[in-house]
Amino acid sequence: MKTKNILLVLLIAFNFTSCKVGRFVYYNYADITDHKIFPSRKATKAVSPFLFKTSTSPLIQDSISLTSKGIASKITFEDYLSSNKTVAYIVIQNDSIKYERYLNDYEESSIVNSFSMAKSILSILVGCAIDDGTITSINEPITNYLSNLNDERFSKITIEHLLNMTSGIDFNESYVNPFGDAATFYYGTNLTKAVNNMEIATEPGTQFRYSSGDSQVLGMVLNAALKDKTITTYLEEKIWIPLGMEYDATWSLDRKNDGVEKTFCCLNARARDFAKIGRLYLNKGNWNGTQIVSEKWVENSTKIDSSAGGVEQYQYQWWINKKDNSYEAEGILGQHIYVNPEKNIVIVRLGEKVGKTGAWTQVAQGIAAKL
């Protein structure tokens, strides 16, 4: 009885002191089905969808080799997919599906949370906004769009700083602290207030710090630039319909009605449609003759460059693999859109568990090397 009373008191305390802490305790940890618990906006699918062909020479992948702490190991491909709770795995080369499998009761039409893969898609939207003049330049200070930030030093932060996560904004990326910044952004109900209350830790442009905070501020800049148009509507106009997406997508919000998109995460879609994001970049921003985002933007997003305090492996919200000149959109729990221009390959992995750190990149690189 005493234990139950303590738990009741704690839950009441959570309810009164922090809605987001209560959500964190109740839901425990982020999950690929979290589109069910957050309000969202819908991006409508294309009337005439683009369909990948089915390859006449499908991929046969018996085993994969993984290296962890200098130790190499082999495991069967199918066992690795299932043991790490993969729900979708697609290999596409030359616009043809060479391998496609769904597991754990998921299927082609199952919707999955992108998590931080959304950051890369946000980057595309920012590129589109610069192309059409909605945003003037990546060199603009973010205070041109956000006037309520609580520190005058924010005027030193440019849009490019946010893109490359060198803003210097103080943000704790811990996913296990219910009182931390990540929990506030993920489970909180007022992202505008959270952003306005952020502080600066280091001089802008001097240090790379992976930060969902930077991506959310970047989303707020885009949201302000769009004025009366939502980011989801812009996604629908610039990407979802032009790329011939087969299914509607949703973007999770911080709250109902007037909520803002969680641009650091939480674009909910299907595996084949995520693959089309990879195809767009394979084709340097061009989709069947229509330039969706400028070729220069794609080039700047995927080239090795550590200037302005950045790091070689991260550009404009994309991860770059120097080993095979590939690049990726990545999210927690092992969400990946892997793009290999030299082999004309896109690989999408979605799942409930990540497994060993960096392993899914190794798997994709191993598959690409054999094709």
Tell me, yes or no, whether 257 and 363 share the same domain. yes
What pTM was estimated for this model as a whole?
0.92
Number of domains composing the chain: 2
For residues 16 and 65, state if they share a domain: no
Examine the domain organization and report whether 18 and 66 are in the same domain: no
DSSP 8-state class, residue 14: H
Q: Are residues 44 and 54 in the same domain?
A: yes
State the pLDDT at residue 336.
98
| Same-domain status, 301 and 203 | yes
Q: d(Cα 67, Cα 275) in Å, to the nearest integer? A: 26
Q: Are residues 49 and 3 in the same domain?
A: no
> Residue type for 47, please?
V
pLDDT tens across the length of the chain (371 residues): 444 444 433 343 344 344 544 444 434 579 999 999 999 999 999 999 999 999 988 888 777 777 776 677 788 899 999 999 999 999 999 999 999 999 999 999 999 999 999 999 999 999 999 999 999 999 999 999 999 998 889 999 999 999 999 999 999 998 888 888 999 999 999 999 999 999 999 999 999 999 999 999 999 999 999 999 999 999 999 999 999 999 999 999 999 999 999 999 999 999 999 999 999 999 999 999 999 999 999 999 999 887 777 898 999 999 999 999 999 999 999 999 999 999 999 999 999 999 876 789 999 999 999 99
Task: Find the CATH number of the domain harbouring 289.
Answer: 3.40.710.10
Q: Which domain holds residue 7?
A: 1-29
Output the pLDDT for position 31. Answer: 94
Q: CA-CA distance, 285 to 254, in Å (whole number)?
A: 30
In angstroms, the CA 356 to CA 134 distance is: 41
Residues 53 and 19 in one domain: no
> Is residue 218 a contact partner of residue 171, using CB atoms and an 8 Å limit?
no
20 and 164 housed in the same domain: no
Q: What is the DSSP letter of 239?
A: I
Within the chain, strands assigned E span: 40-43, 53-54, 63-68, 71-76, 86-93, 96-102, 112-113, 249-252, 267-269, 286-287, 290-291, 314-315, 318-321, 326-331, 335-340, 345-351
Question: Are 228 and 241 contained in the same domain?
Answer: yes
212 contact partners, CB below 8 Å, separation of at least 6: 116, 119, 171, 173, 181, 182, 185, 264, 265
Q: Are residues 23 and 51 in the same domain?
A: no
Distance CA 219, CA 265 (A): 11
C-alpha to C-alpha distance for 110 and 108, rounded to whole angstroms: 6
Same domain, 120 and 10: no
How far from 235 is each of 133, 245, 292, CA to CA, in Å?
Answer: 16, 11, 11
**Residues with Cβ within 8 Å of residue 67, at least 6 apart in sequence:** 73, 362
Residues whose CB falls within 8 Å of the CB of residue 184, separated by 6 or more in sequence, listed in order: 20, 194
Residues 284, 161, single domain; the answer is yes
Give which of 336, 334, 120 is closest to 219, Cα–Cα: 120
